[in-house]
């Protein structure tokens, strides 16, 4: 901030010394692999929004592009398949998760829906409801959805406990 606006400016040396430092945080070993993912010809990543792996080491990337899509790659980065192409519940990707049984879960913020796929890629559960269209466009009301049966308000994540209970992070 500029002087005279309530907060005096700090000299650069002092400001540099006051940076926060992480303490007792282990370094996670990793290796960078350039161009790891091998996409089919004329297929491109959009905005990568979620990534998860299953027990086989396959990598799932949920991304936003012209079409929201979920790609599966094997443990070496080779493309395996698209999941849920044209799926009614895919509009604005937010997260992909893999549960302990290797089911793949998509969390879509745009449709207010979660979709559970079996390890073979078949839809086995749908939670939530897509907003109804109004005048040719979908409702995108920022008003919270409170106590409405079967409706979420921009869900963002999913998790499970040891008993198999499902926990959904919802935007409302």
The verdict on residue 35 lying in a domain is no
* Total residue length of the chain: 172
Looking at the 3D structure of the chain, how many domains does it have? Answer: 1
Of 89, 170, 171, 95, which Cα lies nearest the Cα of 130? 89
Residues whose CB falls within 8 Å of the CB of residue 56, separated by 6 or more in sequence, listed in order:
74, 75, 102
34 found inside a domain: no
- CATH of residue 80's domain is 2.120.10.30
- Global pTM? 0.74
- Domain residues for the domain of 54 are 47-169
Instruction: Write out the chain's pLDDT in tens, 172 residues.
Output: 444 445 445 455 555 556 677 788 888 888 888 999 999 998 888 888 899 999 999 999 988 877 788 999 999 999 999 887 777 777 778 899 999 999 999 999 888 899 999 999 999 999 988 877 765 555 555 555 556 766 888 889 999 999 989 999 987 6
On whether residue 85 sits in a domain, the answer given is yes
Cα–Cα distance between 4 and 163 in angstroms, integer?
58
DSSP 85-127: TT-TT-SSEEEEEE-TT--EEEEETTTTEEEEE-TTS-EEEEE
């Amino acid at each position: 901030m500029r002087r005279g606006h309530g907060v005096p400016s700090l000299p650069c040396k002092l400001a540099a010394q006051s940076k926060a430092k992480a303490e007792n945080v282990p370094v996670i070993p990793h290796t960078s692999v350039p161009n790891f993912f091998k996409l089919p010809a004329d297929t491109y990543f959009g905005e990568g929004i979620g990534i998860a792996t299953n027990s086989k080491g396959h990598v799932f990337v949920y991304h936003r592009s012209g079409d929201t899509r979920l790609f599966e790659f094997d443990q070496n980065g080779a493309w395996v398949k698209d999941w849920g192409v044209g799926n009614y519940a895919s509009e604005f990707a937010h997260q992909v998760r893999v549960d302990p049984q290797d089911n793949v879960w998509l969390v879509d913020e745009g449709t207010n829906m979660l979709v559970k796929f079996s390890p073979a890629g078949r839809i086995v559960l749908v939670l939530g409801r897509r907003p109804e269209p109004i005048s040719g466009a979908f409702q995108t009301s920022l008003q919270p959805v409170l106590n409405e049966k079967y409706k979420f308000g921009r869900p963002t994540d999913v998790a499970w406990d040891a008993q198999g209970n499902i926990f959904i992070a919802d935007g409302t």
